[in-house]
Structure 1
Amino acid sequence: MPNSSYLSNMKKLPIGLQDFRGLREGDNLYIDKTPYIHKLIESGKYYFLSRPRRFGKSLTLSTIKELFQGSQELFEDLWIAEHWDWTERHPVVHISFSSIGYQHHGLEKAIDIMLEQLAETFRIKFEREGIGLRFRELLEKLSQGDNKVVLLIDEYDKPLIDYLHDMDKALENQKILKSFYSIIKDSDPYLRFLLVTGVSKFSKVSIFSDLNNLQDITVHPAYNELCGYTQPELEHSFDGRIQQICQQQGIAKGQLLAQIKEWYNGYSWSGDSFLYNPFSILSYFSATRFQNFWFATGTPTFLIELLKKRRFYKIEKIKVSPIIFESYTLDNLESHSLLFQTGYLTVKDTDEFGLITLDYPNKEVRDAMYSYLIAAFRQEEPSLSTPLVVQLRHAFLSNDLEQVISIIKTLFKNIPSQIFIAQAEAYYHSLIYLTFRYLGVYIESEVNESDARLDAVVQTDTHIYIFEFKLDRSAAEAMQQIREKGYADKYRHEGKAVVGVGVNFSSEQKTVEEWRAEEVRRV
């Protein structure tokens, strides 16, 4: 990537800015992605790109718009300034479905209003009726000889994602979009370039089935770094701010970079190149403290409820087939695919058999997802989940098992009894599993679930606690299993007291019925 001056380190942070012209004219920081954009334009004509929300899709489209409009002054000092034919100019039709008012007017009417506005902008008078015919007429009249149209469609799936809780409405909107987009198939003579972006792929096949030459670059290795920041880009473009934070907080540069990486890095669509979330990074350097930025801007209520309904909570380190990258239909939303497409899971690795490992991209997403899932199963606000887990950490560090059990009891307190009794095992497994997984954020903790068994290991500076959880059995049976299975053997060289904790949970009473603890090995 091209170098920019050191002064760029302290340019304004473009938090939420998606307009390339406004960003450049306002002296904001811009990470130069124009080499990728140039390659995209020169390599093909029809493209589809899926990326999570707030990941730079809209800014990419805006940049392409200014290129084709010949706005040379905006690209000064960028790589493409010397690699673009500035005599090439085209009319650009830029459509963003996030701003057309479909929730107020209805989708078809909103599209019609949007087309009228475009016609007014380009000084075109429609002679036809209907959104499909008017869309075709717009492209025909804008295309004059070699002056073909550049068509940029942002958030193509927004009218669908906003109605995932109302499948009838979502499917109705899908039909309208399919009819609207079908015009593109026979519009090749009028088009110079097309890029469609969105968060999901689950409607791509249904909506663009007629457009068989639409190239999906979502997982194309050449475009993995088109959106998002790489490690070198972060260290170069934010160097001044990094040094400033190090001085203010008295922290070594390497330590700060490691923390930033843990919190906000980890997104990948190839498994070999990992990226930072732009919104989270810009927000962090503005606030200069670590917190949940991206997750908080769009709480995935529908997704959380779907995972709860499906009892799908073991999300980390999942092995899946490459079919995960394929599109799914609206009425057949596959959990792994949905989590991946929306950015809550990302590609971490691909093995020799082609199987892909999906995992949380980073600490920001992992912590927030644990918090929201625990809250969903407990039927309470997410803000109450984290303090509970922090209290659990303090109890372990104080070696206060009475308090540990008390907090575990609190986990189940707010769940209505009639709901819990009907789904006791699901609630019991999910809450224990999620809580001890979340505990691992604050203290060394592991939890395993298999063959209807649930166990966890928590390590402090002085103790190793081995938990065996039972449902409607006995604490004695749990302790016996810890001893007979030799769970403590692997920790014999740790130099810490190893304590077994047998816990029996009553589905009828919705609480810990009994528990016992004993030292099973001391080295």
Structure 2
Amino acid sequence: MAAKNIPYGVTDFRLIRANNYYYVDKTSYIALVENAARFFFLIRPRRFGKSLFVNMLSWYYDINRKDSFEELFGDLYIGKHPTEEQGKYLILSFNFSAVNPDPDKLMESFEWHCHLRFMEFANAYASCFESGFAEEIKNAPSATAKFSYIISKAKELELPIYLVIDEYDNFSNAILANAGTTHYKTLTHGAGFFRFFFNLIKEGATGDGPIKRMFITGVSPVTMDDVTSGFNIGTNMSCDARFNNIIGFSECELRQMLTYYKETGDISEDIDHLIETMAPWYNNYCFSMDSLGERIFNSDMILYFLNYYLPLKEAPSNMIDNNIRTDYNKLRHLIRLDKSFGLNASIIHDIVANGNIVAEIKTAFPAEDLAKPDNFKSLLYYYGLLSICGIDRGDTILGIPNLTVREQLYGYLVEAYREAEMFVLELDYLNNLVKDMAYDGIWEPAFRYFASELKRQSSIREFIEGEAHIRGFLLAYLGLNRTYIIHPEHEPYKKYADFYMMPDLLHQPEIAFSYIVEVKYARRDASNAEIATLKMEASEQLRRYAGDPKVQQTKGDTQLRLITLVFKGWELDVCELTE
């Protein structure tokens, strides 16, 4: 048999199992979910594999699909360890990413999506109900009327329902981002139809109601908090260590997949080297304080890479899937980088400059409180723009997980600079200067250009308070070039340099020069002796970093150059090569 296909973009579990696709077995989590909570709420970033998981649950629990159990699950973990609830439920499922978020079309689209799902349910389980059940559903005047009827009849006949909602907050997030809080509140507060929809869910799930189990996914707890005032029948398991790897791939799972394709002859290169290629771009997600040793790869990103790599035997020219870019662009509006470069933009600037930030992850907060610092940091975490990276004196440390996310944050920050008319560089001109650095070793003009604009654009001066701010501006703009991969160093106890401009030799093997840059900042009235001390510190740090194994391994045959930049206020006082 031919090697299994890569299920990139495929979320139909049966299609994967019946059509020779590779499946990473997540069925061991079925029993864990059953034992953890009847009403299970899971938050994970977009494009992470949630839809496939919930579709798998539907196939496992559906009373109509009980006879397919051996065919679909027989060789998986759950096939050897089935639970008593397998094939015991009527499945009622929704995917609200299918609802049109245009405020003028939202209600009609929501009604139509619900109508289709209710009719699927009515037709699939007609034999469980009295004759005419499907016709009653069809003729009911609204989604809520249909839902109320289903709940009533299922309760009367003691028929257990498993409710599945994928992307529960998709259209509500879009409304919040594009139409504003007024439209959003109309939807989620008071007599809003979405709030009433969740009231019906609560009614059907309490007491002797027919909704016996529930699995809901989304990208943040915001809408759930607003439509249910806490949704006290649901259990948010998103940060529970038992479910850190319920979605996404562990390194062990990725290694097993690559080993399979190595054995089929589709991979010829060393597996460790392939993982090292993917890890900086797709790895480093952690969803529990108790799971710091278990880092998760974004499964959709991995499948994107392998879908390109296996037939062509080379890495994609663009390591970031355009679908990921599109989704992150949608988030740009929700993170509210206001035109005054307010608190939220400053938080992102600090994250880019310092690499991480202290935060308390909030499990629930309403949309009206998004601007509060800990809520905003939590939102970045839920969206996958930050991940748990450590603990310091009992505080949670959130950091940027990988290069894919870092590039998105650079883009957000540069856009915020532009909208605030704060600090604007000509990206094409800067990118050409960076190419001169890479291919010709002409490094000084790029930094001189940056410094001259820093001095010329007076509006930025109020914001400059020290080294971290200048470093943030520099990283944001340099991070958008396609010649170097910018690796900031954020290990204060090692006193490493600010950032390593790692040549992208995977895609541009002819690059001749690589760089480590140390940025120092002094007050405008600093003495010559103080400047000399900063230069000496920079030289020591640069030389220490130059010997780091990561640098030696990744610089290839390029000539490594060490650059010291010392700013006095907003003026570049030292710009020199360290020998």
TM-score normalised by length of structure 2: 0.73
The secondary structure found in structure 1 opposite 2:11 is coil
Looking at structure 1, the residues matched to 277 and 386 of structure 2 have their Cα atoms a distance apart, in angstroms, of 20
Partner of 2:111: 112
Partner of 2:381: 340
CA deviations on 1:385-422 (whole Å, 9 max, x unpaired) are 59946843753886645423344268779xxx9xx544
The secondary structure found in structure 1 opposite 2:397 is strand
Q: Which moved more, 1:436-445 or 1:223-232?
A: 436-445
Residues 370 and 438 in structure 1, CA contact (< 8 A), matched pair in contact too: yes
Looking at structure 1, the residues matched to 153 and 26 of structure 2 have their Cα atoms a distance apart, in angstroms, of 32
* Distance change in 2, residues 1:374/1:466 (3 Å): same
Partner of 1:487: 537
1:28 to 21, 30, 46: 21
Looking at structure 2, the residues matched to 457 and 116 of structure 1 have their Cα atoms a distance apart, in angstroms, of 54
Identity of aligned residues (%): 21
1:295 to 324, 338, 349: 324
Counting only pairs closer than 5 Å after superposition, residues 34-433 of structure 1 correspond to structure 2 as: 34-69=27-62, 70=66, 71-72=68-69, 73-82=71-80, 83-85=82-84, 88-103=87-102, 106-121=105-120, 122=122, 123-126=134-137, 131-143=143-155, 145-165=157-177, 166-175=180-189, 176=192, 177-188=194-205, 189-209=209-229, 211-241=231-261, 247=268, 251-270=269-288, 271-288=292-309, 289-290=315-316, 291-293=319-321, 295-298=324-327, 299=329, 300-303=331-334, 306=337, 309=342, 310-312=345-347, 313-315=349-351, 317-321=355-359, 323-333=360-370, 334-351=375-392, 353-378=393-418, 385=427, 388=430, 391-392=433-434, 395=437, 400-408=442-450, 421-426=458-463, 429=470, 430-433=472-475
Residues 27 and 78 in structure 2, CA contact (< 8 A), matched pair in contact too: yes
Looking at structure 1, the residues matched to 487 and 296 of structure 2 have their Cα atoms a distance apart, in angstroms, of 26
Instruction: Kindly provide the amino acid, as one letter, of the partner of residue 356 in structure 2.
Output: I
TM-score normalised by length of structure 1: 0.80
Partner of 2:476: 434
1:196: Cα distance to partner?
1.2
Residues 317 and 357 in structure 1, CA contact (< 8 A), matched pair in contact too: no
Partner of 1:509: none
CA deviations on 1:24-43 (whole Å, 9 max, x unpaired) are 22222111111102321244
Instruction: Kindly provide the amino acid, as one letter, of the partner of residue 431 in structure 1.
Output: F
Corresponding residue pairs, total = 489
Q: Which moved more, 1:362-371 or 1:273-282?
A: 362-371
1:99: Cα distance to partner?
0.9
The secondary structure found in structure 2 opposite 1:211 is coil
Instruction: Kindly provide the amino acid, as one letter, of the partner of residue 237 in structure 1.
Output: M
Looking at structure 2, the residues matched to 161 and 104 of structure 1 have their Cα atoms a distance apart, in angstroms, of 12
Residues 100 and 171 in structure 2, CA contact (< 8 A), matched pair in contact too: no
Looking at structure 2, the residues matched to 103 and 404 of structure 1 have their Cα atoms a distance apart, in angstroms, of 44
Looking at structure 2, the residues matched to 336 and 408 of structure 1 have their Cα atoms a distance apart, in angstroms, of 29
* RMSD, aligned α-carbons: 4.0
* Distance change in 2, residues 1:386/1:162 (3 Å): farther
Residues 503 and 515 in structure 1, CA contact (< 8 A), matched pair in contact too: yes
Residues 482 and 500 in structure 1, CA contact (< 8 A), matched pair in contact too: no
The secondary structure found in structure 1 opposite 2:398 is strand
Looking at structure 2, the residues matched to 254 and 390 of structure 1 have their Cα atoms a distance apart, in angstroms, of 34
Instruction: Kindly provide the amino acid, as one letter, of the partner of residue 80 in structure 1.
Output: I
The secondary structure found in structure 2 opposite 1:47 is strand
Residues 465 and 501 in structure 1, CA contact (< 8 A), matched pair in contact too: yes
1:106: Cα distance to partner?
3.8
